[in-house]
Amino acid sequence: CESPSEHGRRITAALKESLNIISSESTAVEETKPYLIEHEQKLRNQLSELKKTVQMVDDSIRNWINKSEENQKLESQGRYRAHLLGKISVLLDMNPSIKSSTIDMAVLREEIEALERKVDREARKVLLDRAHRKISEYASKGISELPTVTPCIDIEVEFYSRPPDIVVFEKGSNVVLRLSDLGSDQNYLAIHIALSFALQRYFKDTKAPVPGFLVFDQISRPYYPTHGEDETLFSTISEDEDVLAMRRHVDYLFKETEAQKDLQVLLIEHAYFADDPRYVKATRERWNRASGEALIPTDWPER
């Protein structure tokens, strides 16, 4: 029979042994914990990679399905096209009077590009700005060759089509002058003539469908009234400022008409330069009191 003290010692020894075992196992767990964490992270990474792979496979399957549907549509359209071409071929064979024509794809592409440029707002704005610059440049050069008075001495002309407007700048200055600021028939006439020829020059450059034809009526109006209506006046009177200015206008008309091929200019004018062979040769009709002829025939019935 075991005494109580021995029994207690044995129990104590057993407890100590159990505690030692638990302590050693706890220590082992703590030592292996980092490895377990690292292993768990690896497993998570592998799981993430597997998910990505599955997603890629799903995307590939969806793409394949979409392509299959597209191929089916294309195949159906191809069959329809072949069927339609067959019908057209049979129709042409049955009707010899119908002549087939070869379509030039390059021409069609050019037409498509031209139509796209017409509807492209940005492109249209760029082309319009370019047109304004070119016309203004031509007009500024032209007016420098025509007679003008202050404030249109040594100026630049700016033309705008939207809204229609003409602005004059004195060179070397930022002063803006409108037509209402020019205050002289001579200046108005010079701008009118310079701008008319500038527009025609730009239309020719761009091959625009605009007739190459200008009509001027009585450009001598700012000068002629001071001398009366003698048709030979400009060849007999002294060369004052008005006559010299008128001669500059005539020289400009002849020069620009010669420079711009396919341009015709019709001048309706009282003044007659009998000493200018160009003017005499270019005159087609003489309507005056001596000839008895007129723009409106005298034998037309009166109201």
pTM: 0.56
pLDDT at 3: 65
Instruction: Tell me the average pLDDT of the chain.
Output: 80
The answer to whether 221 touches 188, Cβ cutoff 8 Å, is no
- More reliable by pLDDT, 290 or 222: 222
Tell me: pLDDT of 66 over 60.
yes
**pLDDT tens, 223-280?**
765 444 444 545 444 457 888 889 999 999 999 999 888 899 999 888 888 889 999 9
pLDDT at 260: 85
Q: How many percent of the chain have pLDDT more than 90? A: 18
pLDDT at 1: 57
Model confidence band, residue 212 (pLDDT cutoffs 50, 70, 90): very high
pLDDT at 87: 78
**pLDDT tens, 76-104?**
777 877 877 777 777 777 776 655 555 67
Tell me: pLDDT of 171 over 80.
no
